[in-house]
Structure 1
Amino acid sequence: MNKPLAPSFFLTDLQGRTHRLKQYAGKVIWLEFWVTWCAACQDTLPKKEVLFRAIQHPDLVFLTIDVTGREASPDRVTAFMEQFPFTFPVLRDEGTKIYDAYGITSVPTTVLINKQGEIHGMYDETVPLPEVIGEIGTLLSS
């Protein structure tokens, strides 16, 4: 069964670096969509920071995308990042352009993209993190 190709994107992170989906071709990609006001995001992002630091695999890319179009004020991201000094890349959506392109309806949402550039799965906050990690393991071993 064919899976849908992940929509391409070209976004800038908080340090001004550009990230293109195609630059990560052939790798497993973990995309994490979030916003600063989301209690579930505030709860899970620190746990995902620990995973980001622990899982240093050459075939895994971890990117987060702040959905600026769902923020009360996009400027809140800077203060949020001062409060939570994450080391993973934080990309800024162009409003809800990438959020909408992926068909996402809530935050946080994790999107796993396989090495072929296809969406393997989408997981909201109700999916236990160990299940998502298991899926990453499956993707990395294939």
Structure 2
Amino acid sequence: MQREKAPDFCLPTLDSEETICLKDLYGKAILLTFWVTWCPACQSELPKKDIFSRSLDIHHFAFYSINVTGREMDPKQVKPYMEQHGYQFPVLLDQGRATYDAYQITSVPTSVLIDPKGTIVNRYPETTPFAEVIKDIGRVLS
């Protein structure tokens, strides 16, 4: 089966003027989670992702959430939403739906696992148990 190269992106972070580019993360396994504030499934998944993000070995693994600003009712509410819930995971801001569309995402939340060479391992829609995602991460890291 032919695996596809993950589309590169450079996106601004929510909390700073820093920009994160996918190509700078090569060499690590990467999990991206696409989400929006108004989505009930996102709201139930984000606490798990926050705990997960705090337990990572950042030398071998990178986790970034990507807020799909083009699907937000008001993108200015993302920062207050993060603060209200005390989430500490890094948030990148999609440029409208550019990255969401480049990754062929059709619903939120969706996570994408990328291997250290920049190849997409799998896409996980909201119905995927997070334990399955963690199992795949373990395979990529071993």
Give the TM-score normalised by the residue count of structure 1.
0.96
Name the counterpart of 1:13.
Answer: 13
Once the two structures are overlaid, the 10-residue window that deviates more, 50-59 or 91-100, is: 50-59
Name the counterpart of 2:132.
Answer: 131
Q: Give, in whole Å, the separation in 1 of the partners of 2:74 and 2:138.
A: 36
Q: Does 1:2 align with 2:2?
A: yes
Where do residues 1-142 of structure 1 align in structure 2 (5 Å cutoff)? Answer: 1-14=1-14, 15-141=16-142
Q: Give, in whole Å, the separation in 1 of the partners of 2:60 and 2:133.
A: 16
- The alignment partner of 2:131 has SS state of helix
Aligned length in residues = 141
- Unpaired runs of 5+ in structure 2? none
- The alignment partner of 2:75 has SS state of coil
Deviation of 1:109 after TM superposition, in Å, equals 0.3
| 2:3 counterpart letter in structure 1 | K
Alpha-carbon distance change, 137 to 57 in structure 1, aligned in 2, over 3 angstroms: farther
Q: Give, in whole Å, the separation in 2 of the partners of 1:85 and 1:56.
A: 21
- Unpaired runs of 5+ in structure 1? none
Once the two structures are overlaid, the 10-residue window that deviates more, 95-104 or 83-92, is: 83-92
Deviation of 1:37 after TM superposition, in Å, equals 0.2
Greater than 6 Å deviation, 4+ residue runs: none
Deviation of 1:116 after TM superposition, in Å, equals 1.4
Q: What CA deviation, in whole Å up to 9, does each residue of 1:80-103 have, x standing for no partner?
A: 112112211100000000000000
Q: Give, in whole Å, the separation in 2 of the partners of 1:57 and 1:22.
A: 16
| 1:4 counterpart letter in structure 2 | E
Deviation of 1:77 after TM superposition, in Å, equals 0.4
RMSD after superposition: 0.9
Q: Give, in whole Å, the separation in 2 of the partners of 1:46 and 1:137.
A: 20
